[in-house]
Amino acid sequence: MIEESQIPWVLASSSTTAVEATSTGFFPLQWLGVLLGLAGLIFFLGAAVGMVRFPDFYTRMHAAGKGDTLSTMLMLSGFALVTMEDFSVGSWLILVKIMAVVLFIYLTTPTSSHALMRAAFEDDEMPLTEADLEKSKKRKRRKKK
Amino acid sequence: MTHWFAIVMGASLFTLMIPVIYRIWVGPTGFDRILGVNVIGTKTAVLLVIIGTVFDRVEMFVDFAIAYALLNFVAAIVISRYLNRTISLKEMEAREQKTSGN
């Protein structure tokens, strides 16, 4: 583990907590990162369930587009905080890089899902209507009889 | 402690990818499959950062994650543009006849 003499630059207030964190567990900023990561996992659970359960391409795209973007951003920023063990220049560089990935995903994932949705719409992929739902209900009734 | 959190997080992320793989496998339309591939590609960027945390080499794996996210975005855009233009000539003619008939 990291000795205090090896750390080039440590904030005066957090130096004791950083050394404790290497031996016992997380310090408060890392707990925030753990919480963000778990929240991202919950959102990805929602996206995965939506992708399996929803009846239609557009509804599945709704679940995947929203849940995927938010969960990726939450998990990446959580890991950016978890890897901040000491406040050295190297860990700040990692934080900035991970935040660059977060910004990139924030811009690109909605763009790609929009492009995919537009391609599906121009390829005459029809959304599910109320008539289709009634048809599927009738089929279920026939199966029961 | 950080390592254990990363390992548990990566394992659960990988487990949650299985429903998405199911959607890629059975997806009724091609668009569903591309959507699933897109979701898994985005999550692989996160998984790369997690692997970097496990191996204590985050500074290296973050660059891989950036490259992977970029590739994924380009692939999604290219595939959607490609599918956008591929209507067969017969379908085009049928559409034109429909619109002119009305």
Question: How far is residue A20's CA from residue A24's CA, in Å, rounded to a whole number?
Answer: 6
Q: Is A48 a residue whose pLDDT tops 90? A: yes
pLDDT at A19: 47
The candidate with the shortest Cα–Cα distance to B49, out of B37, B63, B70, B32, is: B63
pLDDT at A84: 81
**Domain count along chain B:** 1
Q: Which of B5, B25, B48 to mutate to test the interface with A (most CBs of A within 10 A)?
A: B5
A6-32 residue pLDDT tens:
554 444 444 444 444 454 556 788 889
Q: What's CA A17's distance to the chain center, in Å?
A: 29
- Give residue B7's domain range: 2-101
**ipTM above 0.90 for this complex:** no
pLDDT at A26: 65
pLDDT at A15: 46
Question: How far is residue B1's CA from residue A26's CA, in Å, rounded to a whole number?
Answer: 7
A63-117 residue pLDDT tens:
999 999 999 999 999 999 988 877 788 888 889 999 999 999 999 999 999 999 8
Q: Which of B40, B57, B59, B62 to mutate to test the interface with A (most CBs of A within 10 A)?
A: B62
Q: How many CB atoms lie within 10 A of CB B43?
A: 23
